[in-house]
Amino acid sequence: MYKKKLMIVIATGMFSLQSYAQAPAKEKEQSNAEVFSAKSGTLMQKEFIEIGIVKKAKVQVLFYTDLISNTKTNALKFEYDVATTYSTDTKVAILDVDEIDGLMKSIKLMQDKVMLTIPVNYTEVYYRSRGGFEGGCFTSKGAWSCYLKLEKYDSKSYVWLESADLTTLYELLAQAKAKM
């Protein structure tokens, strides 16, 4: 009888431990354009317009059209290929039109104010979009390092930039905005 009760207690404990250990997977954050393009029951058309490249990351304008309801939206797309020993993985970030101005202002502030001085303490400065894209800079060994991170939960989605690349990125964003 004692062994039976002990087995039930152990089984119950293991079951509760197993259900506790299985945390739900983190869902990918999405831009409004990604939500629009993922609607079911639609016939979706995507048109890609090449804008340029910064450090091997392609910048494109995307035009989405629901051909059934004739509704449209557009967005900015970053695409970056990460090569490993056995394969190549493509990292993608989508920014909504209303987020481009915030990214452009952030780049200007980083260039005109943030990166002019080197703080004593480790410092990070970043812009983050609703889809998880991040662009920013941080201090490392007495200098600023700049980056784009295309996917929030993926450490392999970094695009490392020189400070001069921020000017190129800003110009590409201005070109993209003009085409939207």
Q: How far is 38 from 69, CA to CA, in rounded Å?
A: 14
Q: Are 31 and 75 in contact (CB under 8 A)?
A: yes
Kind plus residue range of the DSSP H or E element containing 169: helix 163-179
The CA-atom distances, in angstroms, between 123 and each of 53, 145, 146, 162 are: 28, 11, 12, 17
pLDDT in tens, the chain (180 residues): 555 554 554 555 555 545 444 444 456 688 888 888 888 989 999 999 999 999 999 999 999 999 999 999 999 999 999 988 888 899 999 999 999 999 999 999 999 999 999 898 999 999 999 999 999 999 988 899 999 999 999 889 999 999 899 999 999 999 999 999
- How far is it, in rounded angstroms, from Cα 128 to Cα 58? 19
List of domains in the chain: 32-179 (3.30.2450)
Mode of pairing for the β-strands spanning 134-140 and 44-54 = unpaired
